[in-house]
Amino acid sequence: VMNVITIEDYKSTYWPKLDSAIDQLLTQSPGDYIPISYEQIYSCVYKCVCQQHSEQMYSDLIKKITNHLERVSKELQASPPDLYIERFNVALGQYMGALQSIVPLFIYMNKFYIETKLNRDLKDDLIKLFTEHVAEKHIYNLMPLLLEAQSTPFQITPSTMANIVKGLYTLRPEWVQMAPALFSKFIPNILPPAVESELQEYAAQDQKLQRELIQNGFTRGDQSRKRAGEELTYNGSSACASSRGYR
């Protein structure tokens, strides 16, 4: 018979162990060895679920990861333009890598609380947190820099560009509309074949997007940002039609 775990036990003994393990997983670099006992953490989660602490544990987990992502976002905001893309790529890769360990550790909570009581999935919830607290806050800074880098050979590696574009598409597929030509280079079959009668509509959509981006401060600020805005115009309108091709 399992010993009773009171809410005080949970807060003083069980959650601190989970908190420490999550910290290490969120901040590890690829290839790092993390000195934590996965079996111990897995057992810890299992006991807390069995003792009806799932709701508290889920709340603590979401709060913990939200605070972490808010710090990540602030660090990105402080990054100079020449390091911005690479740092966003590292933040995205590090977080997605951490989820590969965090989600399995909380499998019991997911199965017996999140799926059954909330009708959701833990991995989806945690990916959504990154979208809301990091990606959404940086997309209007990131996109013009990606477009500028795309037109400048060797500015960033092809793998970095591919990782970010595919990652953004996973987080929010509708972001394709911000730069269809760029996304189509890394995501197959996202652009339908163009027909001549639709080209005017595509051009109107691109002009509307450009106005929205300008309203978000796209072409204000330093000259590099202005050039990035101009690059977006080029990629968004003239390149959009040619990338679809006539069929």
Which residue, among 148, 238, 137, has the nearest Cα to 194 in the 3D structure? 238
CATH number of 5-190: 1.20.1310.10
**φ, ψ (nearest 5 deg) of residue 187:** -115, 115
Report percent pLDDT > 70 for the chain.
Answer: 78
Which residue, among 24, 62, 26, 52, has the nearest Cα to 108 in the 3D structure? 52
Confidence of residue 229 (pLDDT cuts 50, 70, 90): very low
Which pTM does this prediction carry? 0.75
Is the pLDDT at 35 greater than 80? The verdict is: no
Furthest C-alpha separation in the chain: 73
Which residue, among 131, 127, 97, 132, has the nearest Cα to 27 in the 3D structure? 97
Per-residue model confidence as pLDDT tens digits over 70-114: 999 999 999 998 899 999 999 999 999 999 999 999 999 999 999
Q: Is 207 or 108 the better-scoring residue by pLDDT?
A: 108
Confidence of residue 242 (pLDDT cuts 50, 70, 90): very low
The label of the residue with tokens 């163009």 reads 194
Q: How far apart are alpha carbons 125 and 88 in whole angstroms? A: 20
Type and span of the H or E element at 144: helix 136-150
Which residue, among 69, 75, 52, has the nearest Cα to 5 in the 3D structure? 52
What mean pLDDT do residues 46-55 have?
Answer: 96
Q: Is 146 or 241 the better-scoring residue by pLDDT?
A: 146
Is the pLDDT at 230 greater than 70? The verdict is: no
Question: What pLDDT is recorded for position 104?
Answer: 95
Which residue, among 99, 171, 179, has the nearest Cα to 135 in the 3D structure? 171
